[in-house]
Structure formats: C-alpha cells, structure tokens
C-alpha cells in the first residue's frame, strides 16, 4: 500500500451485532467514500438519514466511550471502528448504522479489521496529507494523565496503563503500520473495573455488556470467557482507543505519541490540540500568489537596473503590481539561507526589523526612481517615522512590501509603507528620501 495517496474501501461490507449500552441489535455497513471525504457516520434509522462527521468538534461526551453529536443526533462508542480504519490505512469511508452505536463484538477492533479486509482497500488519486510533528505537543491532566507527541519519522504509540491503586500497570509501544495494527493492537479487548460498572449494571445500563465483550477486573482477579490475549492487553487496548480518538483531529501524523493513563477525555483533548496546532501552523504558510503579468511588472533583472543594491543587501525579489504612478507592491521571499540568520537570534530565526525597513525603502526607491524626472538618480534614506513592528517574520514567509508616495517636492520624496505576510501587516513606517544624481 502506497502511503503517498489516499485510500478507500474496495466495496461495501456489513457487520451485525449487539450494541453495548442498549443491548439492541445493530447493523453497521462500511462504504467507500470519495477523496477528501474523511470519516463520516450516518444514522440510516432516522428521518433524512443524517450524517455526523468524525470531528473532535462534534465530541459531546467522553465517559467510558467517545460520543459524537450533531444537534440531537448522536453516535456512541466510535473509537473502535475509527481505530481500525486508521490502523489499516483507510482515509475515506462512510459508516452507516441503524442504531446509535456500532456492534461491540468482543470489545476489540478485530471485527472491524476483518470487515475491512473482507472487501479490501484501494488507492485513490489524491495525495495523502500527512503532518510530520516538528515540535512537542503536550497535555497534562491533574490526575497524573500525560499525553505528549514528539517528533518522529513514523507514527508510533507508547502507552502506560495505570489502574486504580496502581493495579495492572502495563506498558506497550510500537510503530503503527497496517501489519502491526492488525496483529499487535486490534485483538486487544476493552476492560472495565467491577467497582466502576456495578452501579451501571444496577441501573440496567450497558445491557449489551458481557464477559464476551469485555474483560472485567474484580480486585486483582481477571474475569474473562477466554485467557488474556497478551500479557499487556490492557495497555494495548488503551493504544487502540488512543488511535481512534486521535483520528477525530482529521489529521494523519508522523510523530511519537507517549501516553500515561490515557482515556477518552485526554485523548480527545489532544485531538483538539492537534487540530488547533495544525491550523496555526498552516496559517504561517504563504498563500498561493498570483503574479500579474504586464508592462508594469518588474522581475529581478529589471529591479537590478533601477536599484544599486546587490547581495546580500538587496531586499526585493520582484515588483508584482503598480497602481498608477504613486503605489507599488514588491515581494521578498524570506528563506533560512539569508546571511543574517547566522547571527540574528540563532536557534530562533526571525527577520531583523531594520531589514524590513530597508525592504520598504528599496521598494519606495523603485517607485520614485521610475518617474521620468528621477531616472538615473539614487534614493538616499533620510528618516523613518511612525515605525511599528507587529509580529515576527520567519523563514518561509513571503513578504509583500507596499509603498505609497505621499508627496515629492523637488529632490525630497516621502512614502507610506507596510509589509504584510498572508495579508497580515507585520511592519509599517513613513519614509523620507533625498533623490540625488549618481
């Protein structure tokens, strides 16, 4: 399976079983979905058959299972089927159900893995977007729960399960691939502590629960219809849940997820943090730039004919727009290869504010020196007023420099300038020049 493109199911597959909370019969059908669809649930038992996206913003409750809601429509216990889809490398799928939760099966995700494998997985055309974590993302709860994601070239999970009073402390760690997921994670069953579920049983809840659908722990005794599948089965199931809950971020990641005492609440909080951090990171990526073509646009060769500056002090790559004779916009692509990054805040590279000011001066010079009466002259910087720096400019940013002539009297010119990144003003100033013969 190529990790470069998105994948979906080769056909539809249906699984019937019992729901955990109501004990009623439920039929779940996995269906192929188009590129970019992601995971969506559909309640076909309700009027209009509403959809609910597998999105952390739809999370309603996280007590013992993850519940999604769209208005009054809910789907419960979504983590196992989502975990199987992620683990086997399915990017796009529609999950149809005729009840409010999937079949509980044996409490693991193995029934969903077998369902997916029964129809197969096929590649799609669109590129799979995988986010490589570059900086640690950390969540810490007051009860000792810790989830941290650190940089890693693979998707890896390391989980420490700690039960009440330290009982059944277990550890599990693995790279998550379709092969390891199927063999090492999917068979791990959900487990519960008797003291936690007895009140629910007394109230007539979790009607679909049994020793065939979960491992029950009473004191130090493990109650199960079959022997433990792994010596650290509880930690493995925590990893299973973690993978499913993190899918609600909507992002496939490369990173090492380290979790101590994870649960659905902390897991979904980390999914929300991933979604927020991804949006913040994407906001720093320059938007696609449409460069207008025509007589008024100057490439680097034209700029070099007007300005006397050369490497490493040329701060304009090209002029992309003129508005009449009194306004123009230049572009400076900021890269980590700029010589000033060697000594300016090493380890935290930001473009010096004075060089943003110099970029404004150079664009202003291009604007004024294109006037017929100034051709062949030089613009000498005289003063800068109302200078403001509003946010750092980083390697990878595209700096748009706008210059607007306020007035020219004789050999003195004055401009109002600002620098923008992704439409946001990062610096601004009013500049004055002396226009003199070379």
User: Bridge-partner residues for 156, per DSSP?
Assistant: 175, 256
264 belongs to the catalytic site: yes
User: What is the spatial order of strands in the sheet that 398-409 belongs to?
Assistant: 318-323, 327-333, 398-409, 412-421, 424-437, 377-389
Contact 86, 251 (CB under 8 A): no
Q: CA triplet 366, 371, 377: central angle to 5 degrees? A: 65
Both tokens of 247, joined, read 């899918």
Tokens 């943090």 -> residue: 273
Q: Which residues contact 337 (CB under 8 A, 6 or more apart)?
A: none
User: How remote is the C-alpha of 232 from its chain's centroid?
Assistant: 31
Contact 161, 241 (CB under 8 A): no
Contact 325, 374 (CB under 8 A): no
Strand bridging mode 252-260 / 155-161: parallel
Q: CA triplet 143, 201, 188: central angle to 5 degrees? A: 60
Tell me which of 80, 264, 309, 348 is the catalytic residue: 264
Tell me which of 37, 138, 344, 348 is the catalytic residue: 344
Q: Which residues participate in catalysis according to the annotation?
A: 264, 344
């Amino acid at each position: 399976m190529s990790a470069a493109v998105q994948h979906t199911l080769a056909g539809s597959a249906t699984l019937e079983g019992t729901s955990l909370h109501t004990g009623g019969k439920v039929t779940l059908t996995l269906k192929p979905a188009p590129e970019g669809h992601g995971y969506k649930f559909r309640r076909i038992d309700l009027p209009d058959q509403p959809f609910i996206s597998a999105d952390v913003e739809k999370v309603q409750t996280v007590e013992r299972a993850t519940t999604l809601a769209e208005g009054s429509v809910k789907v419960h216990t979504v983590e196992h089927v989502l975990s199987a889809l992620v683990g086997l490398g399915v990017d796009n799928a529609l999950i149809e159900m005729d009840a409010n939760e999937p079949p509980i099966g044996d409490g693991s995700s193995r029934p969903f893995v077998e369902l997916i494998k029964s129809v197969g997985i096929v590649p799609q055309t669109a590129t799979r977007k995988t986010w490589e974590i570059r900086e640690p993302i950390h969540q810490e709860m007051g009860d000792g729960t810790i989830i941290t994601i650190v940089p890693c070239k693979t998707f890896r999970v390391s989980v420490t399960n700690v039960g009440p009073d330290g009982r059944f402390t277990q550890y599990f760690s693995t790279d998550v691939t379709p092969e390891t997921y199927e063999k090492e994670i999917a068979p791990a069953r959900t487990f519960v502590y008797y003291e936690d579920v007895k009140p629910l049983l007394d109230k007539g809840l979790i009607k679909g629960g049994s020793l065939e659908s979960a491992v029950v722990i009473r004191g130090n005794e493990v109650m199960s219809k079959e022997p433990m599948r792994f010596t650290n089965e509880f930690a493995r199931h925590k990893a299973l849940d973690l993978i499913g809950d993190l899918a609600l971020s909507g992002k496939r990641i490369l990173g090492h997820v380290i979790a101590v005492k994870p649960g659905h609440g902390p897991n979904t909080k980390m999914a929300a943090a991933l979604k927020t951090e991804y949006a913040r990171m994407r906001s720093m990526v320059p938007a696609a730039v449409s460069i207008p073509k025509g007589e008024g646009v100057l490439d680097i060769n034209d700029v070099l004919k007007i300005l006397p500056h050369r490497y490493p002090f040329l701060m304009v790559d090209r002029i992309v727009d003129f508005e009449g004779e009194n306004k123009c916009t230049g572009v400076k692509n900021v890269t980590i290869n700029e010589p000033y990054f060697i000594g300016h805040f090493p380890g935290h590279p930001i473009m010096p504010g004075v060089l943003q000011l110099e970029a404004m001066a150079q664009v202003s010079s291009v604007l004024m020196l294109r006037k017929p009466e100034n051709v062949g002259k030089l613009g000498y910087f005289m003063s800068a007023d109302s200078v403001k720096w509003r946010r750092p400019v980083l390697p990878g940013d595209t700096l748009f420099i706008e210059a607007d002539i306020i007035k020219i009297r004789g050999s003195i010119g004055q401009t109002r300038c600002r620098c923008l990144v992704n439409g946001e003003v990062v610096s601004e100033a009013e500049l004055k020049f002396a226009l003199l013969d070379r």
